């Protein structure tokens, strides 16, 4: 039997409707400022997507660019200035930063009440408390939780295995799965040093994979009926039946496609629910950023 597909676009649409309803109640326009240092092709794509998502919903998106030679101290003082500007609702830092700049230090210079990505120590710290509802949290982790929630399955006590322990996905998701005193799942976190990954993944009733390695999770590593959330985004070559790359006639280069970390065709025959890539977690992540922005505004205006 084939797994039910978790439709990220449908989840994102419902959250967009919530955001639009909230924005209608607010008297002010929200402003998201993106800080970019130097030029980077990868962040150019993110900026374009963030800008169009914000504008579609009616949020002002301003890009503030700094020269790639800016010193760390100057960048920190520029971000502090933005942090004090009352017209700005949230600040997002575009990665990567040039090598001479310590990105952790820069992230920490964003005030917690403008930290739309939920990555400052104060906002991450709130994820530890069972009795505090964090205003914001890392968007991808929130997106994973929305995908799980959309199945309607109760997570209480379930074996949840998280593969990948990064600060933006694996670690915050683990804390979110533990956020209830009585109804939490039972998470296990696997990572690069985990000795036998399959031992863990095979007993997962909820399997969350955030690594960045295509083909890492094969069908025989998945428990029957599991909820499989594939966070990975990988670009790979399209191959023909002989295993040779398919060449694009126009460019003369191999044709590419986007896949996750899970072998989708195998996994969908075993899992109970699965997120596709693209169209799963990634489709929800940008709207979670905007939901964070609305939550920052509401929290500030209530204080």
Applying CB under 6 A, the span of 74-82, 84-92, 165-173, 294-302 interacting with ligand NAD comes to 165-173
**Helix ranges restricted to H, 202-280:** 264-267
Q: Kindly tell me which residue out of 173, 190, 206, 229 binds ligand NAD, with binding defined by CB under 6 A.
A: 190
- Cα–Cα distance, 170 to 176 (Å, whole number): 10
Name which of 98 and 278 has its Cβ closer to ligand NAD. Answer: 278
- Does 53 help bind ligand NAD (rule: CB under 6 A)? no
Cβ–Cβ < 8 Å for 140, 281: yes
Name which of 8 and 90 has its Cβ closer to ligand NAD. Answer: 8
Tell me the sheet residues that pair with 66: 37
Q: Kindly tell me which residue out of 118, 134, 170, 187 binds ligand NAD, with binding defined by CB under 6 A.
A: 170
Q: Kindly tell me which residue out of 65, 68, 188, 194 binds ligand NAD, with binding defined by CB under 6 A.
A: 194
- Does 164 help bind ligand NAD (rule: CB under 6 A)? yes
* 119: preceding bond cis by omega (within 30 degrees): no
The site that binds ligand NAD (CB under 6 A) totals a number of residues, namely 26
- To the nearest whole angstrom, how small is the minimum distance from the Cβ of residue 163 to ligand NAD? 5
Helix, strand, coil percent values for the chain (each to nearest 5): 40, 20, 45
Cβ–Cβ < 8 Å for 130, 181: yes
Q: Kindly tell me which residue out of 92, 168, 173, 259 binds ligand NAD, with binding defined by CB under 6 A.
A: 168
- Cα–Cα distance, 196 to 48 (Å, whole number): 40
- Cα–Cα distance, 163 to 191 (Å, whole number): 6
Q: Kindly tell me which residue out of 62, 65, 166, 258 binds ligand NAD, with binding defined by CB under 6 A.
A: 166
Cβ–Cβ < 8 Å for 181, 134: no
- Does 281 help bind ligand NAD (rule: CB under 6 A)? yes
Decide: helix, strand or coil at residue 69. Answer: coil
Cβ–Cβ < 8 Å for 162, 170: yes
Read off the tokens for 283.
Answer: 């489709």
For the window 219-258, what string marks contact with ligand NAD as x by the rule CB under 6 A? ------------xxxx------------------------
- Does 212 help bind ligand NAD (rule: CB under 6 A)? yes
Give me the residues that bind ligand NAD (CB under 6 A), please: 140, 143, 163-166, 168-170, 190-192, 194, 197, 210-213, 216, 231-234, 281-282, 285
């Amino acid at each position: 039997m084939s797994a039910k597909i978790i439709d990220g676009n449908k989840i994102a649409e419902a959250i967009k409707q919530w955001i639009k309803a909230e924005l209608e109640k607010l008297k002010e326009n929200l402003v998201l400022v993106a800080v970019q240092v130097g030029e980077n092709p990868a962040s150019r794509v993110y900026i374009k997507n963030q800008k169009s998502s914000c504008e579609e919903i009616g949020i002002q998106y301003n890009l503030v660019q700094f020269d790639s030679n800016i010193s760390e101290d100057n960048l920190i003082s520029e971000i502090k200035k933005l942090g004090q500007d009352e017209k700005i609702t949230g600040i997002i830092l575009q990665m990567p930063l040039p090598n001479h700049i310590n990105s952790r230090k820069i992230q920490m210079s964003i005030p917690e009440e403008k930290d739309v990505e939920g990555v400052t120590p104060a906002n991450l710290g709130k994820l530890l408390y069972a009795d505090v509802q964090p205003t914001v949290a890392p968007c991808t982790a929130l997106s994973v939780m929305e995908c799980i929630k959309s199945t309607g399955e109760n997570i209480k006590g379930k074996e949840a295995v998280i593969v990948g322990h990064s600060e933006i996905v694996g670690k915050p998701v683990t804390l979110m799965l533990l956020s209830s005193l009585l109804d939490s799942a039972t998470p296990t976190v696997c990572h690069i040093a985990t000795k036998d990954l399959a031992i863990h993944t095979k007993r997962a009733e909820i399997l969350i994979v955030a690594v960045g390695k295509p083909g890492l999770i094969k069908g025989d590593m998945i428990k029957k009926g599991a909820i499989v959330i594939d966070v990975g985004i990988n670009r790979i070559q399209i191959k023909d039946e002989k295993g040779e790359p398919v060449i694009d006639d126009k460019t003369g280069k191999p044709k590419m496609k986007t896949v996750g970390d899970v072998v989708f065709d195998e996994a969908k025959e075993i899992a109970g629910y699965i997120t596709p890539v693209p169209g799963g977690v990634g489709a929800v992540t940008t709207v979670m950023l905007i939901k964070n922005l609305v939550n920052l505004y509401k929290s500030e205006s209530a204080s």
